[in-house]
Structure 1
Amino acid sequence: MGDHYQTLGLRRDATKAEVKAAFRSRALRDHPDRHAGSTEAARDAAARRFRQASDAYHVLSDDRRRAEYDFRLRSSSSSYARTSSSWASSSSSSSASYGYGYGHEGGSWRRPPSSGGGASAGSVDWEFVLKAVTRRGFLINLGFASVLLSGAAFLDGSILEIWKMNNSGSEATRVEW
């Protein structure tokens, strides 16, 4: 997978404007249309460099993707980082998947295939769990469920209070809750 910062010739603390400028200069130099009259090997090499620059720009220009990428660089000893690099190289040719560890092909969200270097079968991959529970869809569903649950608790308490008000006069029907 290569270092995206190195691909664009940037420092780790580069701004979005610097990322954009670096990508534009790489795109102008390596765009396949600029090498239409070159040999096939030169066109293929330019196309490969252009794809790498495009992938680097795609990651580094988005704050969320850049934070995930920087996190993976810092924690390269985790099982996630070990499995994502081999998975990324096999899926980088697909236009629907960019190969940054998790694919989004067809709207699904899948873990990269394990290459045997990951965690054991009985252990919990906490990084994967954290990524799963911080996804937007999960958080929206969690908020909706909490609203429903609090509404049900409110109704239950209200019904109990109404029953107590209606049955407070007779000692025979009084029930201790």
Structure 2
Amino acid sequence: MGDHYQALGLRRDATKAEVKAAFRRRALRDHPDRHAGSTDAAARADASHRFRQAADAYHVLSDDRRRAEYDLRLRPASSYARASPSSSSSCYGYGYGYGQRGGSWRRPPRGGGGASAGSIDWEFLLKAVTRRGFLINLGFASVLLSGAAFLDGSILDIWKMNNSGKSFEDAMESIEKVKKTQKGNR
């Protein structure tokens, strides 16, 4: 994958303006159109590769959300380890480590110098709880549960309104008596 900051020649605390200026410098130097007339195929391929790296770096570092996710991946104390992709190309989408090239997110195995077995990984928990899918499912489940509670109370209220003075057991006994009398009349 390579380091995006290194690809643009920047420090990790660079501003958006510095990122944009660094990308422009790299694009002017390494753009494939600038090297199209070169007879050396290796030089053209190398310049094209450097331009792709710079473009990928700019794509990630110019967007605040992507940059925050990228910086989170770079932190050495992070509880996530980026699986290395088999190819040198990288693709940064909108997902949370799913999908296109670029590997997947994996949690490192427990027991290797990390937190104790009984402790809570707050970073992982926060990341899992704030995902869009989790929040949608949580909202859907709360609507279903509140609907079920409302219906349960409503059914009981309707029963009491239509059958005042009777318990459910008394009603079931009277139904059984009616069934027996109907069977006896046949």
Specify the code of the residue in structure 2 equivalent to 1:173.
Answer: S
Cα gap change, 1:113 to 1:173, in 2 (>3 Å): closer
Partner of 1:102: 97
**Cα offset, 1:128, TM superposition:** 5.8
Query: CA–CA distance in 1 between the matches of 2:71 and 2:20?
Result: 18
Is 1:24 the counterpart of 2:21? The answer is no
Cα gap change, 1:43 to 1:128, in 2 (>3 Å): farther
Q: Deviations for 1:33-67, whole angstroms, at most 9, x for unmatched residues?
A: 21112211211221121121112112112222211
Is 1:119 the counterpart of 2:109? The answer is yes
Partner of 2:175: none
Q: Deviations for 1:108-134, whole angstroms, at most 9, x for unmatched residues?
A: xx73579xxx3159x799566654543
Q: Is residue 9–residue 22 contact of structure 2 (8 Å, CA) maintained in 1?
A: yes
Q: Is residue 31–residue 51 contact of structure 2 (8 Å, CA) maintained in 1?
A: yes
Query: CA–CA distance in 1 between the matches of 2:6 and 2:65?
Result: 19
Specify the code of the residue in structure 2 equivalent to 1:134.
Answer: T
Cα gap change, 1:50 to 1:129, in 2 (>3 Å): farther
Q: Is residue 35–residue 46 contact of structure 1 (8 Å, CA) maintained in 2?
A: yes
Identity %: 72
Give the count of matched residue pairs.
159
Specify the code of the residue in structure 2 equivalent to 1:140.
Answer: I
Partner of 2:44: 43
Cα gap change, 1:111 to 1:62, in 2 (>3 Å): same
Q: Is residue 7–residue 52 contact of structure 1 (8 Å, CA) maintained in 2?
A: yes
Partner of 2:182: none
Of 114, 132, 137, which aligns to 1:136?
Answer: 132
Query: CA–CA distance in 2 between the matches of 1:48 and 1:128?
Result: 35
**TM-score, normalised on structure 1?**
0.69
Query: CA–CA distance in 2 between the matches of 1:138 and 1:174?
Result: 40
Specify the code of the residue in structure 2 equivalent to 1:156.
Answer: D
Q: Is residue 79–residue 119 contact of structure 1 (8 Å, CA) maintained in 2?
A: no
Is 1:146 the counterpart of 2:142? The answer is yes
Is 1:161 the counterpart of 2:157? The answer is yes
Partner of 1:87: 84
Which consecutive residues of structure 2, in runs of 5 or more, have no partner in the other structure?
112-116, 170-186
Q: Is residue 72–residue 78 contact of structure 2 (8 Å, CA) maintained in 1?
A: no
**TM-score, normalised on structure 2?**
0.66
Query: CA–CA distance in 1 between the matches of 2:88 and 2:47?
Result: 16
Specify the SS of the correspondent of 2:52. Answer: helix
Cα gap change, 1:80 to 1:72, in 2 (>3 Å): same
Query: CA–CA distance in 2 between the matches of 1:98 and 1:153?
Result: 44
Q: Is residue 7–residue 56 contact of structure 1 (8 Å, CA) maintained in 2?
A: yes
Q: Is residue 8–residue 23 contact of structure 1 (8 Å, CA) maintained in 2?
A: yes
**Cα offset, 1:14, TM superposition:** 3.0
